[in-house]
Structure 1
Amino acid sequence: MLVSRPWFLAGTRGTYLIAIVIALFALMPLGFVFWATAVTGWETASQLIFRPRVGELMGNTLLLVIVTVPVTMILATVLAWLTERSDLPFARFWSVLCVAPLAIPAFVHSYAWIGLWPGFHGLPAGIAISVTAYFPFLYLPISAALRLLDPALEDQAASLGLSDAAVFRRVVLPQLRLSILGGGLLVGLHLLAEYGLYAMIRFDTFTTAIVDQFQSTYNGVAANMLALVLVLCCLVLLAVDAGLRGRRRYARIGPGVARQVRRTSLGAWRYPCLLLPIAAVFFALGVPALTLSRWLVAGGAAIWRMDEIGLALGQTLVICLVGGLATTAAALPIAWLSVRRPSRRSRVIEGCYYLASSMPGVVVALALVTITVRVALPLYQTVATIVIAYMIMFLPRALISLRASIAQVPAELEQAAASLGRSPARALWATTVRLAAPGAAAGVALSSLGIMNELTATQMLAPNGTRTLAMAFWALTSEIDYAGAAPYALLMILFSLPMTALLHHQSKKIAGR
């Protein structure tokens, strides 16, 4: 005990200091947007914000979110219930296919749809493709929540004479509230941040307008004001989510593991209900497969320019590995604090991480471009700047994986290592970090997956000469060379599939299946 107390104090203070510094870095884009507004002045800012073009963008964005998020919620919830709680034929097979679209970048979905229907543009296309691309983000947490629910609650409700539909509406659905709202928030933030999907179908949003403004005229003031409105939309979305969640808590009744859930019989609807997963899988997987096959066959061997493809693949793997390692290392201090020293202060720091990551990539990139140009010009368009952007955007992915692994490592091991004379950092490295290595590896992989499919920030911040798979794909599609872009799309999907499979496996493992 005489040794553990000084170790506790020194280790906690140092870890808090590192976590706070990282949180300040993560909040730079948010601070930059409000600073830029203050510097611009209210008169100029109001002229740039309250103009017809911004009203048009706001209308497009509101319609997109208001329609897409509820439709995605309903589709994902019904699919999750059919595959987890009903006697739908081949339910496990469909559950795998409902997660598989996570491996396909959103802008590849657009590429696939307009490859089959070239005239498919505007708001209807934006809604249809967004639902197709993003419903797995909701399906995964909802299906996992359904597997974890205690069936005793449903049995009690049924014993009171409630029908299956009433049990679902009054017992099951309220317990899915957090999963549905959390997934809906994630989808909403993706809608606000997405660029490639909407640029390809010529549907204007704040993100597409900011990127166009930046690339065409580099009008920093106008782009900053659009970024301000986009950030405010994100903050409103976060506030709405917090208000809808409320303070309710949901917990299983009784100790131990819940028994196997009885699947509901669909009766005469058993085979007609198959039409929903078939349609969802066709649009989410079949359309990209058809389009890619068509262009790969049409292009033949000529589109496999291995020197260019090899260069893009190599640069992508390097930047994904460096970004994933840096992001996971940055998440380690707060992950350790949230498990070992939970407090209001650690929760505030953790909240800063999540708030920063909710900022669209275009806002993060715009902030870092301006900051480096004005304050640290040697860092402009360097690997360091783009790695910082990835850290800000993908910290929560690494944080979640690390926190779960650290929680499984006994704290006494760190104390024992410190009692042998090791410094706090060495004690942490020798015990917790090494034993939490699987979680760290998952954090690196999840962060790398996001980096591989990231387009906007990479385009704006990457050093000259950088050409990742996503950048090469986008450059070729911008030139209407859809056949030439097909190999890059295929490689992005193939490298994303293992991590998608890991996500599905982990969601099953949590429920003990």
Structure 2
Amino acid sequence: MFALSALVALATFLPLVQLAIRASGSGLDSFTATLLRPRTLTLLVNTLAVSAVVAVGCFVIGVLTAWVIVQYRLPARRLWWVLACLPLAVPSYVAAFAWLATWPGIHGFWPLSAVMILTSAPLVTIPTLGALVLADRSLVDVARTLGRGPLHTLATVTLPQILPAALAGTLLVVLYTLSDFGAPAMLRYETLTTGVYGLFTGGLNRTAASSLALLLAAVALVCISGERALRHRTGDLNRSASTSRRISKRMPTGLAVAVQVALGTIAFAAIGFPVTALLVRMFDSVRYASDWARLLEATGTTLLLGAVAASATVALALPISYLASRYRSRMVNLLESMSFLGDALPGVVVALALVSLALLLGPGAYQSVLVLLACYVILFVPKAIGSARSAFGQVSIQTEDVSRTLGRSAASTWFSVTLRGAAPGIAAGWLLVLVSVFKELPATLMLRPIGVSTLATELWGKTTLGAYGAAAPIGILLILVGLIPAWWLSRSVSTE
């Protein structure tokens, strides 16, 4: 089990090593010249600017949305819990396509930032909802008794308790923004991700592409280090959790109406408008009819790739998940941290590294299904590890000991007791990986075998041709697929 865990951890670390080797292949001077080019600086500034704006926007919207939903008893409260999570079902490039199909002239920094905020805000809302449910309510009651207003109490009492969860969600937003390719490309705003992809597809300078990819990975790693430093400084503020029953307050009628209008507007802009725009475009378009046979083939390919990738990812994640839930040695912590490196590496970075590795193995390896599946595993194994680790942690060690005392072997106990008890959490991780594979765009574009198309690549192909009517059904399918984990997450964080 330890050997397999080490192998998985090394596999996730290999892309960075390969990128470093490839980027330095032309010498340090060439690598430095690439990084110091004015265009590289422009791409870096663009990437950091949009990431900062999206992070701040998602933090504000996510924290305020979670606070209102938990703190106050709004009409149709269960509906607001669901609507807060549903925007996760909309891939950013699908949302960008919906807005672009409605207003073809929009492009640039602010449209991209708005799309990213609308689709990514639930990444902050969901962990903040969970933290608010567990927060110590007595401190809030004391602050209100002393005459502090709701917003003052939120800023000085509640926010310090939920800050670690909100920062963790904000980090996910930043990493998602750094790695996103489809939305910046559609809205014509150049970032490091589009720069890497442009150099790769142009084929003019793969070494420069590797250098940019390494810079992008470095930015992501710096963001992770910064979030961890902030989390360590604020973590001691959330030591206790209230065990008393949380009683939500009623909001004055006028304010409740205004809050519901605001929440409804955000929900409509995030998910209602994209769905409506895609349906209108699908039924009104006559110039580009959908090729339903091709769409059915892409759907089947997407399902097959997703199922195989999710199964392989979960299987490889099980050993390290179990070790992380049972042992806290330095070696296990190191292996777990290395395995989570996929969270910090954008898809275009991993794909570019695997292209170089595949070419070293032989011409038949490049654009093979195995290389594509390996990319999916590296990118999404953190999702499987996180879910499985929590699930294994909920299986009582005493239950395993009882099984052993009844004469069962260690292997039999692991399969019949431990694995069976953790099955729901493992299945949730499988579902998250499945949907992530469905939505992955740049890695699939770069590594897919010739003639193989998925829903994501079909949508990309149609939009580049301006065939918005033919692309609309694909966007709707991608949203419908994403509704499953979004609805599941809304149930998992709801207190009702």
TM tier relative to shorter chain = over 0.9
Displacement of 1:184: 0.8
SS in 2 for 1:270: helix
1:78 maps to 2:64: yes
2:425 alignment partner, one of 421, 433, 439 = 439
| 1:99 aligned residue | 85
Deviation string, structure 1 residues 409-429 (Cα, Å, up to 9, x no partner)? 233454555567766444422
Give the one of 45, 53, 60 matched to 2:39: 53
Verify: 1:158 aligned to 2:158, yes or no.
no
User: Is 1:461 paired with 2:447?
Assistant: yes
Map of 2:355 onto structure 1: 369
Which range moved further: 130-139 or 258-267? 258-267
Which residue does 2:388 correspond to in 1?
402
2:366 matches 1:357: no
Q: Deviations over 1:353-385 (max 9, x none)?
A: 222321000000000010010135443222221
Corresponding residue SS for 1:39: coil
Q: CA offset at residue 311 of structure 1?
A: 0.6
In 2, are the aligned partners of 1:89 and 1:271 still within 8 Å (CA)?
A: no
Q: Aligned pair 1:130/2:116, yes or no?
A: yes
Q: Describe the shift of the 1:426–1:367 C-alpha distance in structure 2 as closer, same or farther (beyond 3 A).
A: farther
Instruction: Give how far 1:471 is off.
Output: 0.9
C-alpha separation in 2, matches of 1:113 and 1:278: 18
Identify which of 197, 219, 240 aligns with 1:211. Answer: 197
Matching residue of 1:40: 26
Equivalent residue letter for 1:115: A
Report the 3-state secondary structure (helix = DSSP H, G, I; strand = E; otherwise coil) of the residue aligned with 1:465.
coil
Task: Please state if 1:114 is matched with 2:96.
Answer: no
Residues 23 and 208, structure 2, Cα contact 8 Å, conserved in 1: no
Pick the aligned partner of 2:236 from 222, 239, 249: 249
Task: Measure, in 2, the Cα distance between the counterparts of 1:382 and 1:423.
Answer: 40
Distance 2:366 2:146 in 1: 66
State the alpha-carbon separation in 1 of the partners of residues 166 and 238 from structure 2: 16
Unpaired runs of 5+ residues, structure 2, are none
* C-alpha spacing 1:216/1:422, structure 2 compared with 1 (3 Å): farther
Does 2:438 correspond to 1:449?
no
Partner of residue 215, structure 2: 229
SS at the partner of 2:121? helix
Other-structure match for 1:348: 334
Following TM superposition, by how much is the alpha carbon of 1:504 offset from its aligned partner in structure 2, in angstroms? 1.2
State the AA in 2 paired with 1:207.
T
**For residues 171-211 of structure 1, what are the alpha-carbon distances to aligned partners after superposition, in whole Å with 9 as ceiling and x for unaligned?**
10111111111111100011110000110011100101111
The 2-side partners of 1:270 and 1:417 are apart by 54
Contact (CA 8 Å) 1:30, 1:356: kept in 2 or not? no
**d(CA) in 2 for partners of 1:357, 1:97:** 26
* Residue identity opposite 2:182 in structure 1: G
Deviation at 1:240, TM superposition (A): 1.7
CA offsets per residue over residues 293-337 of structure 1, 9 Å max, x none?
A: 211111379834332111111100000000111111111111101
Structure 1 residue 504 and structure 2 residue 493: aligned? no
Preserved CA contact (<8 Å) 1:132 1:280: yes
Q: Letter of the aligned partner of 1:175 in structure 2?
A: Q
Q: Supply the distance in 1 between the matched residues of 2:240 and 2:207 (Cα, whole angstroms).
A: 56
Matched-pair contact (CA < 8 Å) for 2:87–2:119: yes
Aligned residue for 2:296?
310
C-alpha distance 361-37 of structure 1, shift in aligned 2 (>3 A)? same
Q: 1:57 to 1:254 in 2, by over 3 A?
A: closer
Q: Give % identity.
A: 33
Cross-structure match for 2:373: 387
Verify: 1:290 aligned to 2:276, yes or no. yes
Q: 1:246 to 1:404 in 2, by over 3 A?
A: closer
In structure 1, how many angstroms separate the alpha carbons of the residues matched to 2:29 and 2:382?
37
Could you tell me which residue of structure 2 aligns to residue 6 of structure 1?
none
CA RMSD of aligned residues (A): 2.1
The residue number in structure 1 matching 2:313 is 327
2:115 pairs with 1:147: no
**Range with greater deviation from structure 2 (323-332 or 371-380):** 371-380
Match of 2:457 among 453, 457, 471: 471
Contact 1:409–1:435 (8 Å) recurs in 2: yes
Q: Tell me, yes or no, if the aligned pair for 2:20 and 2:214 is still in contact at 8 Å.
A: yes
CA separation in 2, counterparts of 1:33 and 1:43?
16
Contact persistence 1:83–1:91 (CA under 8 A):
yes
1: distance between equivalents of 2:365 and 2:408?
Answer: 36
**Which residue in the other structure is 2:48 paired with?**
62
Amino acid corresponding to residue 191 of structure 2 in structure 1: T
Deviates more, 1:176-185 or 1:434-443: 434-443
Deviation string, structure 1 residues 384-434 (Cα, Å, up to 9, x no partner)? 211111111111211122122212223345455556776644442232112
CA contact (8 A) 2:288 2:468 kept: no
Shift of 1:91: 3.3
CA contact (8 A) 2:372 2:444 kept: yes
C-alpha change, 1:391 and 1:193, in structure 2 (3 Å) is same
* Deviations 1:74-115, CA, capped at 9 Å, x for gaps: 111111122221244433322211211111111001001111
Q: Corresponding residue for 2:475?
A: 489
**Secondary structure in structure 2 of the residue aligned to 1:225:** helix
- 1-structure distance, mates of 2:343, 2:400: 30
Deviation at residue 58 of structure 1 after TM alignment: 1.2
**Is the alpha carbon distance of 1:464 and 1:287 closer, same or farther for their aligned partners in structure 2, counting shifts above 3 Å?**
same
Q: Distance in 2 between matches of 1:32 and 1:182?
A: 29
Return the alpha-carbon distance in structure 1 between the equivalents of residues 357 and 410 of structure 2: 35
Counterpart residue type for residue 140 of structure 1: I
Counterpart amino acid of residue 448 in structure 1: L
Query: What letter is aligned with 2:251?
Result: S
